[in-house]
Structure 1
Amino acid sequence: MAGHRTKGTPLVADRRYGASTASRPPPPPKKPNRNRKPAQKPRRGLFSRLFAWIGRLIWAVVWRVSLVIGLILSGFVFYFYQQLPPVSALLDGRAKGSVTLLDRNDTVFAWRGETFGGQITSDTVSPFLKDAVVATEDKRFYQHFGVSPRGIASAISINLAAGRGPLEGNGGSTITQQVAKLLCLGTAYDPKQWKSEAAYEDDCRSGGVKRKLNEIPYALAMEVKYSKAEILTIYFNRAYLGAGARGFEAAAQRYFGISANQVNPAQAAMLAGLLKAPSKYAPTNNLQRAQDRANVIVGLMQDQGYLTKAQADEARAHPAQLSEAAQTKSGGFFADWVMESAPDFLTSTTTEDVIMRTTLDQNMQKQAEEGLAFVFDTKITAGSKAQAAIVVMSANGAVRAMVGGRKIAAAGSFNRATQALRQTGSSFKPFVYAAAMDMGWSPSDFVEDTPLTINIPGSGPWSPDNYDHKFKGLITLTEALQESRNVPAVRVAEAVGRDAVRTVAQGFGIESSLAAGPALALGASESTLIEMTGAYAGILNGGSSVTPYGLEELKLKGETDSLMGAGGGIGERVISQQAAGLLTYMMSRVVAEGTGARAKLADRPAAGKTGTTSSARDAWFIGFTGDYVCGVWIGNDDNSPLKNVTGGTLPAEIWHEVMTRIETGAPVTELPMILPDARVAPQNLGASLASGAAPRDQSGTASQPLMNPSDNQVEALLREIFGKKQ
């Protein structure tokens, strides 16, 4: 029934919605149950608690150890920081100076020692060069603080993968760390501690844990002390870049003939590529290898945004090329020889930068090298081990070109032009006839070309022979020299006296020991090519001795006063000017019609003399025009005989090729020769020969007496006179 409910029974709606809290009395407070335990957190396992304890222990150790290491590292950094000098004191770190050699036109042709081109900064070098170095050596240079953990980790990974120790090979060094090595961590070079500067630098660059531990705080100290630009400046000035160049300025001048602020992308890439291995990638050592390395650097520069694609393509299409001086490597033997002409403290051990102005003519040097190469390429069997040397000089002894040997495998640095003592053979004969001319003999005088035997005390009889094993009877001195007859040369030497011949040869500069016996006349003594060429220069200049020289002036770089002047020149008179002129005439006939005919020049007169030693171990031709003297020698380094070579063949041909190149386009200078008077007058000949008196020429000058001529010799002489009267 609606509205009816049982008394005391609550409505369902009341239970569902609940009664108002305002109409309900609050419940009485509950009394706490003192016997009930509080709720507990879940308990962890034994291992969890152990690991947690170990973690706390490790953290406690790590932060304490890190603190200690940090303090120690800070101490080392502070120590090195205090030791670092101003940047300007670190730019030229060479222990020795350098020598720059200039040719006769004051153009650089060679360097010795480590050259330093001058102080440069990272702001003054070409931007391409700065970018190339950063891209190659340390692309995060501007982001790190001297040490790159990422780079070290990568290097360790590479080394381990290659089977090396973790610190062997790649080091992951930043540019700052490389500078630290270049500075040897502040340790100065001490000659008492290291055998050489090279040993010092090897020690500085050595790896190992100890070195790395010292290197890191030093690099950090540098980052605190110097700016990034200053660190690059030190690097640009101290890095060794091959061929004796210390720093990028010296290298740019050495390889390209320009300053480091002028290099283009291709040149910058080549210079930066040298940092990895200076000697291996030096363009003077192997240009193609240097260009290949440069292409790798160009790629890195492009990848890192330093070059646009167009710039990179241009650098690859037009790789860097060597300057003319660097490309030709002109005057290497000459430079070594000139270095020896000055004291060591001004050359090989100098602590200053020295400038040496020399007599070298780079054009003549190139022509001498080309002439030699042409003959060996066209006239000699491939693979020949024969060596050759050339010296070209002016009449006053100034050396213009020098080739100390062919550039073949294992040729070495031995200078055959100045150091090889070899028998001179018939090239010595002009000194015999020089003595005779100086005593008043005439080129038209006669001498016997007949069998001769001389008894040598202690050795027994000695009989010289001619090259062709024939004898021509009575011949003139001119003909004897022209045909290089041996017996007449011995007869003349015996007639004028061996001492006189030695005096003339030594006066002209032959300093080597001269033979004591009659074989002196045939060149049994030894000499060097430069000595012999200098002696012939004395004939060209009219009979005065010369001292061959290559140094004109020596001074310190930046100074105007000379420390040394010319090291040679014309000396005392050895024979009269008339004797020298007559001898020049005789030697001109050697080239015109004699054994030196292959040396004949097409447009100007020349004079000279061939020389071939016993068993053809040495072959010479030394001659001159009115302008220059040129000496050529060919032989084997082991002194073994040559095959089918005499002084009149290959040496004369080399001389011809060299002098043709040198004289091309030059005005003709006549030889300073004197023509001899006519031969002995026929009406006086018979009486002179029969009596043994000295025959006279038309001027009345007496010749030396002939040795008991026979009737047949007189008849042959008369026939020759009337048939070939001059």
Structure 2
Amino acid sequence: YLGGGTFGVAAASEFYFGKSIKEVTIAEAAMLAGLFKAPGNYAPHIDLPAARARANEVLDNLVEAGFMTEGQVYAARRNPASAVDRTEVSSPDFFLDWAFDEVKRLANGKDFVLEVKTSIDTSLQKAAEDAVEASLRQSGAQYHVKQAALVSMDPDGAVRAMVGGRDYGQSQFNRATNALRQPGSSFKPYVYMTALMNGFTEDSVIVDAPICIGNWCPSNYSHSFSGRMTLTTALTRSINTVPVRLSQSFGRDKIAETAERMGVATPIKVTRSMPLGASEVTVLDQATGYATLASGGYKAHPHGVLEIRNSEGKVIYSYKKDGPKTEQVLPAPKVAELNRMLNSVVNNGTGRRAQLEGIPASGKTGTTNAYRDAWFIGFTGNYVTAVWFGNDDYASTARLTGGNLPAKTWQQYMSYAHTGIELKPIPGVGGIPEYTIPGPLASTQPAGNEPARPQTLTDHSKEVLLDIHRRLLAAPPIGPDAARRPERVSSVTSEGSATQPRRQVRFSAGRWE
């Protein structure tokens, strides 16, 4: 991988210099050779001075090894390579690194020329990057937080956007897939799902009161207790004593089993504090687990590769054909109950900042001890998105909670993600408006830098628009020079579908397109 979504020197030459590998100069060849060590650090479209310095080292090595003389590389030193302008191109490098590992696993053969169709949605990827960067730029210093990660996927696990950190050029470590962090209260849905499968309901009453297991006595965020309450209220208010009390009634091992069943790949450590999110997971784990709720109980399998073709154009892998089969792992009625409980979190509880205008959402906040991690994971019927904020060195933030920057970032990204698409209901929640205006017609220029949002139609407005539409179709031409009558359309509902990417992304002959 040579950065910029390119694999191999031929693709890299086209991307960075806009020319065939056969046409590159010595300076350009040296710059390409320098990419192998760390493409994120030396890619010329990210850091041109660093790329030139690295290319100069390559030239030194060529002279030292006797492949070229100092006179032969003199011109290359005096006239270092420059990359073509890629300021308008945003390469989802974190996603590509992750997807490339998937390709190596799926197509482990001798054919090194592959064309790969991925699940990435470039418009959603940019929106995710913009949302994360805006939050860190505007509030990072205030909350003493330097990093964030985001994963957004369809309910079946197809990853549409991935942000593994603030700046790939500075750090290629993917915090979305490789960083193990405590999830805090965002782990509680696994506890409540276990409770629902063991005789409890969303309306079951339980007591919020002091509880101790040995010398460990967890307290609530408010440091107070509220007595009797339903499970829905306990989750909405993110009460800590209730999941601990629940875990004692059916056992903590069952909670770990539920998390694994729902798609959490990282092994869960069964401890006293596990019900409160003490066992570390990844952002991808959390997105996958919640996706199983968004799908109605069908296990989500996170994937970025949809299809692989070899050099002859033959399909050697297809996710639809060769991927994991659909498997119902949770009972649909219990999923519906938990989804309603999580919907209450967004509407009435700690996740209120994640509310989407006119679109039902379910989700959960998470904040860990000493404010080291802040999470919000939520979903609609269309997308599941997990957001994490924290510091690489585990330093505490300035009292950053999951209901703040993570929920705000989630809301900004998901508002854009649902622009101009057909809305789907959350299993058990419903409440989807019947009609939406397609994105281009949804609003005029949005205020500031806020993304445009579709405005939902009332039944009266819908009938008025349809009546106008019928009248226009039935109206006779004004004259011989009149414009042609508009073609009939089936409805005013957006034709976009969240289950299909706005634009398929390909690696063509190993190159990102």
Q: Common fold, TM-score beyond 0.5?
A: yes
Name 2:419's counterpart in structure 1: 664
Q: Residues 387-466 of structure 1 correspond to what in structure 2 (within 5 A)?
A: 387-407=147-167, 411-454=170-213, 460-466=214-220
Q: Residues 618-657 of structure 1 correspond to what in structure 2 (within 5 A)?
A: 618-657=373-412
Name 1:332's counterpart in structure 2: 93
Structure 2 Cα separation of the partners of residues 526 and 581 of structure 1: 27
Contact 1:616–1:646 at 8 Å: present in 2 too?
A: yes
Q: What are structure 1's unaligned runs of at least 5 residues?
A: 1-97, 101-108, 118-244, 246-250, 262-267, 292-318, 455-459, 676-726
2:341 to 586, 593, 599: 586
Q: Residues 495-514 of structure 1 correspond to what in structure 2 (within 5 A)?
A: 495-514=249-268
Q: Assess, with a 3 A threshold, how the Cα gap between structure 1 residues 568 and 624 changes in structure 2: closer, same or farther.
A: farther
Structure 2 Cα separation of the partners of residues 674 and 548 of structure 1: 24
The structural deviation recorded for 1:606 is: 0.7
Secondary structure of residue in 1 paired with 2:124: helix
1:209-237 Cα offsets, whole Å, 9 max, x none, are xxxxxxxxxxxxxxxxxxxxxxxxxxxxx
Secondary structure of residue in 1 paired with 2:141: coil
Contact 1:402–1:417 at 8 Å: present in 2 too?
A: yes
The structural deviation recorded for 1:277 is: 4.6
2:125 to 365, 377, 382: 365
Name 1:534's counterpart in structure 2: 288
Q: Assess, with a 3 A threshold, how the Cα gap between structure 1 residues 606 and 255 changes in structure 2: closer, same or farther.
A: same
Structure 2 Cα separation of the partners of residues 412 and 641 of structure 1: 20
TM-score when normalising by structure 1: 0.50
1:511 counterpart letter in structure 2: A
1:352 to 112, 127, 133: 112
Q: What are structure 2's unaligned runs of at least 5 residues?
A: 36-41, 53-82, 431-513
1:458-505 Cα offsets, whole Å, 9 max, x none, are xx3321110110101111111100010000111122223323222211
Structure 1 Cα separation of the partners of residues 104 and 296 of structure 2: 32
Q: Assess, with a 3 A threshold, how the Cα gap between structure 1 residues 451 and 508 changes in structure 2: closer, same or farther.
A: same
The structural deviation recorded for 1:351 is: 5.9
1:278-303 Cα offsets, whole Å, 9 max, x none, are 56996524579999xxxxxxxxxxxx
Secondary structure of residue in 2 paired with 1:643: coil
Q: Residues 302-313 of structure 1 correspond to what in structure 2 (within 5 A)?
A: none
Secondary structure of residue in 2 paired with 1:413: coil
Contact 1:273–1:290 at 8 Å: present in 2 too?
A: no
Name 2:6's counterpart in structure 1: 111
Contact 1:548–1:569 at 8 Å: present in 2 too?
A: no
Q: Residues 44-193 of structure 1 correspond to what in structure 2 (within 5 A)?
A: 110-112=5-7, 114-116=8-10
Deviates more, 1:528-537 or 1:281-290: 281-290
The structural deviation recorded for 1:518 is: 3.1
Q: Assess, with a 3 A threshold, how the Cα gap between structure 1 residues 570 and 440 changes in structure 2: closer, same or farther.
A: farther
The structural deviation recorded for 1:634 is: 1.1
Structure 2 Cα separation of the partners of residues 538 and 669 of structure 1: 15
2:102 to 326, 335, 341: 341
Q: Assess, with a 3 A threshold, how the Cα gap between structure 1 residues 345 and 519 changes in structure 2: closer, same or farther.
A: closer
The structural deviation recorded for 1:665 is: 2.5
Secondary structure of residue in 2 paired with 1:489: helix
The structural deviation recorded for 1:669 is: 2.6
The structural deviation recorded for 1:602 is: 1.6
The structural deviation recorded for 1:342 is: 3.6
Q: Assess, with a 3 A threshold, how the Cα gap between structure 1 residues 273 and 116 changes in structure 2: closer, same or farther.
A: closer
Structure number with larger C-alpha Rg: 1
Secondary structure of residue in 2 paired with 1:480: helix
2:6 counterpart letter in structure 1: W
Contact 2:143–2:398 at 8 Å: present in 1 too?
A: no
1:336 counterpart letter in structure 2: D
Structure 2 Cα separation of the partners of residues 496 and 476 of structure 1: 18
Which one has more relative contact order, counting CA pairs under 8 Å at least 6 apart?
Answer: 2
Contact 1:392–1:630 at 8 Å: present in 2 too?
A: yes
1:337 counterpart letter in structure 2: W
Deviates more, 1:426-435 or 1:399-408: 399-408
Contact 2:202–2:338 at 8 Å: present in 1 too?
A: yes
Deviates more, 1:512-521 or 1:419-428: 512-521
Q: Assess, with a 3 A threshold, how the Cα gap between structure 1 residues 462 and 282 changes in structure 2: closer, same or farther.
A: closer
Structure 1 Cα separation of the partners of residues 283 and 268 of structure 2: 15
Contact 1:99–1:353 at 8 Å: present in 2 too?
A: no
2:28 to 274, 290, 297: 274
Contact 2:16–2:84 at 8 Å: present in 1 too?
A: no
The structural deviation recorded for 1:414 is: 0.9
Secondary structure of residue in 1 paired with 2:356: coil
Q: Assess, with a 3 A threshold, how the Cα gap between structure 1 residues 524 and 531 changes in structure 2: closer, same or farther.
A: same
Across the aligned residues of Structure 1 and Structure 2, the Cα RMSD in angstroms comes to 3.2
The structural deviation recorded for 1:260 is: 5.7
1:471 counterpart letter in structure 2: F
Contact 2:144–2:398 at 8 Å: present in 1 too?
A: no
Q: Residues 527-566 of structure 1 correspond to what in structure 2 (within 5 A)?
A: 527-563=281-317, 565=319
Q: Assess, with a 3 A threshold, how the Cα gap between structure 1 residues 449 and 563 changes in structure 2: closer, same or farther.
A: closer
The structural deviation recorded for 1:431 is: 0.9
How many residue pairs align between the two structures? 391
1:501-542 Cα offsets, whole Å, 9 max, x none, are 222111012233323333221111111110111010001111
1:130-169 Cα offsets, whole Å, 9 max, x none, are xxxxxxxxxxxxxxxxxxxxxxxxxxxxxxxxxxxxxxxx
The structural deviation recorded for 1:595 is: 0.5
Name 1:617's counterpart in structure 2: 372
